[in-house]
């Protein structure tokens, strides 16, 4: 994805905002998302019992206008570009598919939201002949978090020092444990934001019974499964798209243990460590963890 300048917005692939032919006048929905409260009325007294408060999807509304003075055809071309993004069949007709809304505000790095375009409305065409078409745009982010524009990723082999393999004879000097020092351990993951990030995980075989541990929280993902050479498991933890797929299509969720809570397996703010163990592995066995740092505000 191309970089953005300050005050620019990437509306599902269409660049709008400052220094473009689609200036924006107002953007709503960048504050806290609307709450879904679960308070229960007190049946015997005043008030209510507080329940769990959850955030609804974030609805972002953008007031904009296509401005191409003296070039009505150029204005209509830009309108067609926006309408094409809004009606993209690959997203609109595919369950679970998401578009991206990216922002770059002053003093901030580019952040993005994942969701669906819900409106690309022409307010009026009365001034289209002069190259001016006002618009109302609406994007619903199904996850209200703001995400880093850049992906972060680590790839880890299986370390025999963490699998209980011990030493093998004959021993040769120098003898080391194979355990890296704290600052050089390969499993560090860093979330630069202020709220938990949802990781995507891939396990590449050959391997049996992999177990992934987030060291700081104690959350685990255990799989009672065996992968052959060239096989892999993909695990998605994001709300609304949580699944475990074998080789890109087969449902492997039944292989999860009861302790494997995908809805709780997050990369918390700051630096933390991912570890993993398994059996029947080779030097080709790998664990890849990918995530985007996450924020509660733009």
Specify the CATH number for the domain of residue 51.
Answer: 2.40.30.200
Whether 237 and 294 have beta carbons less than 8 Å apart is answered as: no
Residues 163 and 269 in one domain: yes
253 and 261 in contact (C-beta within 8 Å)?
no
Q: How far apart are CA 207 and CA 180, in angstroms?
A: 23
Give the distance from CA 166 to its chain's centroid.
38
Residue 31: which domain range? 8-144
pLDDT in tens, 216-230: 999 999 999 999 998
163 and 199 in a common domain: yes
In a domain, 53, yes or no: yes
Instruction: Using the 3D structure, point to which of 105, 125, 144 is the last residue of a domain.
Output: 144
Rounded (5°) CA angle 143-89-241: 30
pLDDT per residue as tens digits for the range 165-199 = 444 444 455 444 444 444 445 789 999 999 999 99
- In degrees and rounded to multiples of 5, residue 288 shows phi and psi of -120, 125
The DSSP letter of residue 73 is: H
Question: Does residue 2 belong to any structural domain of this protein?
Answer: no
| DSSP H or E segment with residue 225 | none
Mean pLDDT of 37-56: 91
Q: Structure pTM?
A: 0.83
C-alpha torsion sign, points 166, 168, 171, 172: negative
pLDDT for the residue 250: 87
**Per-chain mean pLDDT for the chain:** 88
Asked if residue 159 and residue 288 are part of one domain, the reply reads: yes
Binned at pLDDT 50, 70 and 90, residue 96 comes out as confident
Residue 224 is part of a domain; what is its CATH number? 2.60.120.860
267/216 same-domain check = yes
Instruction: Look at residue 3 and tell me if it is in a domain.
Output: no
Structure tokens at 276: 């993993």
């Amino acid at each position: 994805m191309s970089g953005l300048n300050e005050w620019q917005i990437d509306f599902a692939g269409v660049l709008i905002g400052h220094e473009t032919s689609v200036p924006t006048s107002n953007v709503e929905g960048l504050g806290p998302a609307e709450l879904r409260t679960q308070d229960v009325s007190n049946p015997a007294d005043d008030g209510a019992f507080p329940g769990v408060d959850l955030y609804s999807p974030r609805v972002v509304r953008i007031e904009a206008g296509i401005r191409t003075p003296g070039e009505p055809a150029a204005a209509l071309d830009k309108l067609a570009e926006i309408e094409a993004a809004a009606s993209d069949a690959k997203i609109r007709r595919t369950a679970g598919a998401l578009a991206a809304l990216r922002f770059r505000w002053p003093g901030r790095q580019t952040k993005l939201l994942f969701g669906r375009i819900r409106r690309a409305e022409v307010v009026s065409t009365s001034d289209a002949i002069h190259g001016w078409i006002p618009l109302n745009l609406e994007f619903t982010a199904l996850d209200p978090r703001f995400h880093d524009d850049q992906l972060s990723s680590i790839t880890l082999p299986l370390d025999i020092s963490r699998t209980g393999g011990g030493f093998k004879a004959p021993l040769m000097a120098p003898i080391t444990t194979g355990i890296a020092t704290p600052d050089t351990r390969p499993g560090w993951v860093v979330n630069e934001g202020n709220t938990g990030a949802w990781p995507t995980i891939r396990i590449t075989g050959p391997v049996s019974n992999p177990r992934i541990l987030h060291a700081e929280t104690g959350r685990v993902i255990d799989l009672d499964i065996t992968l052959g050479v060239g096989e892999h498991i993909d695990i998605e933890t994001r709300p609304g798209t949580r699944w475990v797929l074998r080789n890109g299509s087969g449902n492997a969720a039944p292989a999860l243990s009861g302790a494997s809570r995908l809805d709780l397996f997050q990369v918390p703010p700051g630096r933390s460590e991912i570890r993993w163990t398994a059996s029947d592995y080779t030097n080709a066995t790998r664990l890849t963890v990918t995530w985007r740092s996450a924020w509660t505000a733009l």
